[in-house]
Structure 1
């Protein structure tokens, strides 16, 4: 019996050491074949400058203001029965200004979302 234990111990000690590489070892081994370090990606430039962001906020705020003013003038026109020529001219001017602002908003939001 004693010889069997000694024989088993001798066999275990004579076996080569087997090691399994860990994930960290595998990552190091993969990088060895590179001749040059990998280039880092450039950070994306900001979509809008601070001035453009302010312009966007201002345009959106002004559109809201125009919408409120137009609603007030239309409500006044309904109570009078019809709009006066001055009120109609005011509404036309506000509609043109709102269209300009909407174009600015659309352009800046498209740039922001690119």
Structure 2
């Protein structure tokens, strides 16, 4: 009986030694490779000089038309209401502004910023 107890004590006191398997070796070899997050990202396509100029022109147009719309609205408010001609001007400016803003949005999305 003492021999059996001694063998059990010895068996539990010995550390378990594991043998690496092929799957462990495959996992361990990937440790030195760069992570997906550390790889450089692809840069968004740059705008051509003509597209960049188009973007600036469209941004200027949007700002100018916004200023004109505000001025017409202020004139209408001072006069007690917008006239039919002023409403038509605002509608025309709004249409042109929306077209220019669509160009700005498209080029900004292409640029990626």
Q: Does the TM-score normalized on the shorter chain lie above 0.5?
A: yes
- Aligned pair 1:107/2:106, yes or no? yes
The aligned residue for residue 74 of structure 2 is: 75
The aligned residue for residue 90 of structure 1 is: 89
The Cα of 1:47 is off from its aligned counterpart by: 1.0
The Cα of 1:46 is off from its aligned counterpart by: 5.2
Q: Secondary structure at the match of 1:82?
A: coil
User: Scaled by the length of structure 2, what TM-score is found?
Assistant: 0.59
The aligned residue for residue 3 of structure 1 is: none
Report the aligned-residue RMSD: 1.8
**Number of equivalences:** 72
- Once the two structures are superposed, residues 2-54 of structure 1 have per-residue CA deviations (whole angstroms, 9 ceiling, x without a partner) of xxxxxxxxxxxxxxxxxxxxxxxxxxxxxxxxxxxxxxxxx968510000000
| Rounded Cα–Cα distance in structure 1 between residues aligned with 2:47 and 2:77 | 42
The aligned residue for residue 54 of structure 1 is: 53
User: Scaled by the length of structure 1, what TM-score is found?
Assistant: 0.59
Distance 1:70 1:45, change over 3 A: closer
State which structure, 1 or 2, has the greater radius of gyration over its C-alpha atoms. 1
- Once the two structures are superposed, residues 41-100 of structure 1 have per-residue CA deviations (whole angstroms, 9 ceiling, x without a partner) of xx9685100000000000001111001111110000001001010000000001111110
| Rounded Cα–Cα distance in structure 2 between residues aligned with 1:97 and 1:88 | 14
| Runs of 4 or more consecutive aligned structure 1 residues displaced over 2 Å after TM superposition | 43-46
